[in-house]
């Protein structure tokens, strides 16, 4: 059963990898590198500190612990799974990464951090065109970070999907705790 689930999860990995490899251009490579930069550890830490300060300044301290748990739990889970699975990165990537491939830490943190911001802003902003634009941009950014990892060839589709799943589980826990 375990092998069947793994086979099902990884079935599309080679096709997606080949698609992005054959459609790689220098312009889109730069876009993908920029999006990928937003998921790097130091960038995420700066965004997380800024978000906590925002919660504090907006007198929304109820969100701080759930946010911290969402970010910390998803990052720790992703990091541990990388070293438990030791999955080798795809051949032909746009650049080298020091850690194993599975799951995508960028996808994990994109859904955890970006998803929590979407939740927070959806709860606190009054309905307006501005709110719709901000939420749409955040959702596109979350998707773009995962796509950038595929486009750069540093992850398989299954890495990104599972990363989104891990981040999503922690996000749901954080949302639950903030209520």
Phi-psi region of 88 (alpha: psi -120 to 50; beta: other; left: phi over 0): beta
Give the CA-trace dihedral at 90, 93, 98, 102, to 10 degrees.
-30
Among 82, 89, 106, 149, the active-site one is 106
pTM: 0.88
Higher pLDDT, 179 or 178: 178
Q: Is 23 a catalytic residue?
A: no
Whether the pLDDT of residue 160 is over 90: the answer is yes
Q: Where are the domains of the chain?
A: 26-178
pLDDT band at 4 (very low <50, low <70, confident <90, very high): low
Q: Which of 155, 157, 159, 174 is catalytic?
A: 155
Per-residue pLDDT tens over the stretch 6-63: 666 678 888 888 888 888 888 888 898 888 888 888 899 999 999 999 999 989 999 9
């Amino acid at each position: 059963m375990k092998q069947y689930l793994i086979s099902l999860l990884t079935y599309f990995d080679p096709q997606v990898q080949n698609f992005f490899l054959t459609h790689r251009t220098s312009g889109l490579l730069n876009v993908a590198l920029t999006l990928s930069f937003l998921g790097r550890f130091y960038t995420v830490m700066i965004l997380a500190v800024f978000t906590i300060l925002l919660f504090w300044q907006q007198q929304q301290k109820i969100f701080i612990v759930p946010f911290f748990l969402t970010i910390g739990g998803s990052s720790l889970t992703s990091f541990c799974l990388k070293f438990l699975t030791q999955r080798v990165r795809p051949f032909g990537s746009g650049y080298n990464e020091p850690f194993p491939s599975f799951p995508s830490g960028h996808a994990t943190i994109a859904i955890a951090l970006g998803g929590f911001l979407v939740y927070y802003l959806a709860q606190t902003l009054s309905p307006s065109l501005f709110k719709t634009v901000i939420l749409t941009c955040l959702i596109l950014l979350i998707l773009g970070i995962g796509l950038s990892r595929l486009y750069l060839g540093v992850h398989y589709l299954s890495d990104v999907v599972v990363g989104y799943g891990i981040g999503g589980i922690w996000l749901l826990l954080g949302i639950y705790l903030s209520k």
